[in-house]
Amino acid sequence: MFGLLGDVPNDINTPTDPAICAVGSINGNITLFNPVTLHQTPLKSHHKTEIYAIGWFRTATNNSKFLVGDKEGNCQLYDYATSDHLKEKYNNVHYISSLHVNSTDQYFLTTGCHHNVNVLDVETKKIIKLYMNIHEGTVNVGRFSNTNPYLFVTSSFDQTLAVWDMREPGTNAVQSVRGDAMFLTVSFSTDDYWYFGCGTDYYGLIVDARYSAKERYYQYRICTEPVVLGREYLWECGYKLNAELIAKEAQSFLGIHDFAPFCVPRNDGKSTICEIFEFRFEDNIFHIRGNRFLHKQVRAMVGLLVDVGRGRYALGTVERIFNGEFKGERTWAPPQGLVLAGVGY
């Protein structure tokens, strides 16, 4: 199929639209290619050498933009929706073998035939974090998470895959796993539940990121009055709530507890002991951070706090439930207000 391009392709990358892909060649040419209709559109390229990496922007507002990196370290931003195509040049990037844009289009990372990873700000064009000598072997590929704009994973010839969090003050990996072959590439699954590394000698390794997480951060949004837009992303509880009472009662969840009364049991023999690090209620948003969560636990906790905030139950109800002293009916918050906002490794 790609013989129709009239050039030798060196890297291919697709955006969210499956009907288009960008192809970079060893001669520095860039072609947009429709794999369904076989239609091709050459773009005006500003590269003089082999194109080694292409990375599309991720958000809907920027889905016509992509970055291109070549053998000499030239990195340029293209927009096929404009007449001139070339939008920006990033001149402070060294040798590039892969690049990837994060989920918010704010940052992108580059790797090359060395042990370093550069993270750049798309708008300022500056390197905001340099990860030096992070693998014993060459860093081949780096890929950002699909849901968390600060997490990325790398693959290396030293037979390891590693996850990094840009929010961490240093440059230490938050997780590292060793395989049985040199890793060529790696990528997160679309839901970030796992990542998959491909290596030499037909070797592949799947790592379940959920069970390697040290903490999870949930948000739950509510609204006390009817809304027109965004109803599918919050709970219209319809009650006038006392935020001070909710904040006080939420503190009873902090620490290590048996959360069996705040879940739908699955009877799988697993522990129901969890630790809650943070539980805040600000601007009609619950912020909950803990080491692990049970089935429907967040919705159960939020529902109980709404009951306290609307005056149905008094302060101290959480403790009574933990102690088995409460037998009343409780509200379960609906699912639409809940979102997994972050994972820490």
Q: How confident is the model at residue 3 (pLDDT cuts 50, 70, 90)?
A: very low
Q: Does the pLDDT at position 314 exceed 80?
A: yes
- Asked if residue 149 and residue 41 are part of one domain, the reply reads yes
- Position 204 scores a pLDDT of 92
Q: What is the mean pLDDT of residues 282-293?
A: 94
**CATH for 267:** 3.30.70.660
Neighbour-count burial of 253, counting CB atoms closer than 10 A to its CB (0-12 exposed, 13-18 middle, 19+ buried): buried
- Asked if residue 232 and residue 117 are part of one domain, the reply reads no
Greater model confidence, 278 or 74: 278
Q: How confident is the model at residue 114 (pLDDT cuts 50, 70, 90)?
A: confident
- Asked if residue 205 and residue 106 are part of one domain, the reply reads yes
Q: What is the mean pLDDT of residues 172-201?
A: 90
Domain residues for the domain of 32 are 2-209
CA–CA separation, 166 and 149 (whole Å): 9
- Asked if residue 120 and residue 42 are part of one domain, the reply reads yes
Q: Is 174 helix (H, G, I), strand (E, B) or coil?
A: coil
Q: Does the pLDDT at position 5 exceed 60?
A: no
- Asked if residue 172 and residue 95 are part of one domain, the reply reads yes
- Position 2 scores a pLDDT of 43
Q: How confident is the model at residue 89 (pLDDT cuts 50, 70, 90)?
A: confident
Helical H segments across 121-279, by residue range: 243-250
- Position 7 scores a pLDDT of 54
Greater model confidence, 48 or 198: 198
Q: How many CB atoms lie within 10 A of CB 311?
A: 12
Angle in degrees, CA 155, 157, 161, rounded to 5 = 30
Number of domains in the chain: 2
- Asked if residue 159 and residue 10 are part of one domain, the reply reads yes
325 phi/psi in degrees, rounded to 5: -100, 0
- Asked if residue 165 and residue 22 are part of one domain, the reply reads yes
Q: Is pTM beyond 0.75 here? A: no
- Choosing from 209, 224, 240, the residue where a domain stops is 209
Q: How confident is the model at residue 212 (pLDDT cuts 50, 70, 90)?
A: low
CA–CA separation, 24 and 3 (whole Å): 13
- Asked if residue 184 and residue 161 are part of one domain, the reply reads yes
CA–CA separation, 78 and 61 (whole Å): 14
Q: How far is CA 63 from the centre of its chain?
A: 18
Q: What is the mean pLDDT of residues 279-284?
A: 94
- Asked if residue 255 and residue 116 are part of one domain, the reply reads no
- Choosing from 209, 234, 269, the residue where a domain stops is 209
- Asked if residue 80 and residue 32 are part of one domain, the reply reads yes
Q: Residue 286: what residue type?
A: F
- Choosing from 209, 230, 248, the residue where a domain stops is 209
Q: Does the pLDDT at position 41 exceed 80?
A: yes
- Position 81 scores a pLDDT of 85
- Whether 163 contacts 173, CB under 8 Å: yes
The end-to-end CA distance of the chain, in Å, is 42
pLDDT tens readout for residues 125-169: 899 999 999 999 999 999 999 988 999 999 999 999 999 989 888
pLDDT tens readout for residues 7-28: 544 445 555 667 788 888 888 8
**CATH for 22:** 2.130.10.10
Check the CA dihedral 304-306-312-316 and report its sign.
positive
**How crowded is the C-beta side of 138, counted as CA atoms within 13 Å?**
15
- Asked if residue 312 and residue 234 are part of one domain, the reply reads yes
- Asked if residue 127 and residue 255 are part of one domain, the reply reads no
Tell me what percent of the residues of the chain surpass a pLDDT of 70: 94
- The tokens for 312 are 């149905």
- Whether 102 contacts 108, CB under 8 Å: yes
Helix (H) or strand (E) holding 119: strand 117-121
